[in-house]
Structure 1
């Protein structure tokens, strides 16, 4: 009887663990889709009417996409740190192994970024601290490197390891201070830009260390308070939209309260059950989320370089004075398909270790 109870408890824990892992896969899949959507901008509106209505439509549409898509990188940090806090306490060498893997990934992809930029850009390379912290040089037509994420994740993982060395009471005190200080700072930087960290700075993301630790210890929190999180997210988004439309302050990508609340709210996607086919697709996307994150900007470059030479294809939206740039949809689709092809080729070679 006792053995049956223990076996039943073990099965329940295993089932719960499997459910949480599937949930984290859903979050990673949504996050990488948000990243790609933001960088590819497939639904690109052009304001030809230049009326109050057409201007308002374009500004609200772009601001809404920005509010949602820019939660993706904080979500990646949050998921990565939750996984770290779930495994590190029970595995003595987990921190060292994780940092080693992150350093290898960072070294490989910053080398790829540098070689690619050297081929397509006439700009001379300047290797300094900014080059290292931002993940390599920018690429024409597609913007800055995404590999600042790996640099910041190394810093955050080190900080998370130190956080675990504190006593439980120390973690609570430090966590409250970090969260409160971050939310206060994020609230005032639109009006005091001198205090704003750069977009790629890890200072934008330290707040997710104590939050990830709390969620790893209390996985049901976001589901219990999902309605409150939804209200807070809507309120902070409205605050951001007012800032944007009335130009009351500077809009920053990550150092905003809405980014923190939004990341917590989107964690409620853990509870969204998908049909078996949908689960398989999201699991596949999540498995290759690192690879998609790494190659999607490189893959879209040749198509942007091609289409910039052509006349844009514009689809009118009736009675608005706004046009949808269909060429952006074509470029985005082509870039995504090339990304998948590159990942397939890498996955059948030893390079698979850099995309999974």
Structure 2
């Protein structure tokens, strides 16, 4: 990542962080367990690439970034509640090197003191996580209304974006999540890479697409989501969002555990249906297919088995093919920057696109 992009993202991440964690919001949440749960993922860090690209897109069409700050915060909060609920669905104990919300509150000393070390404490942790996601969802929509209430964006723009986020985008995210759960029980050989990419885009790319379109719409102060520049940046972030998830899957197999905050190879043990797994399986011989089938999704798989499958994913070309697809998405996305005026924002967007496939975190 270039120094100029790193600095630009860092500045906007801090703006969003400060906006989200301001006492005027945080003090609304109670009791204390909810307040802690709602803010804990923000305090543990994160890439914050969605709000950054929304602000870049706002600036790229000549808008004032400051007017989009509440929407940028809203997109990050919206993303966060989906993570909280996704962690419950996937039964993940860790995120970004720290316990997930449901795990954190199931094992919190005050929870154990009240409910004991049994199913009741686990149920409490899940309950807190469900309610946390609900609060964050509502909070995100409230922040979207500040576009008009606080920053003077036309009301029809705000209403259009809220409707888009809480209907089309939400339904797409839920569809992707359901497909992910359903696919986890399907043999990897029965799925196509196109089916897997479609599912991944619905889980991840849809919100990136919204970040680009809404940033442009705010910058132009237009409710017309078919405006040429809105569509241009929507398609740009959609393509890059697809690349982002493919790179995420690559890092989940061969990345740096310290940077990821989770064990490398966990996706194999959890049985994640990825393009890597699919493309490796179709290239494997019968013996290799048997090993992949026996290991993928086997929570009791030994570390040796995980490492052996990891080696197969590399040697059979699954990782290489996934990286090729990610590059193709970015190359496709870059073409959508052509109509934009030559500004620092266009440069940042170009760098941001390459970050999607070059990042190691």
TM-score w.r.t. length of structure 1: 0.31
Give the TM-score taking structure 2 as reference length.
Answer: 0.31
- Structure of greater relative contact order (alpha carbons < 8 Å, 6+ residues apart): 1
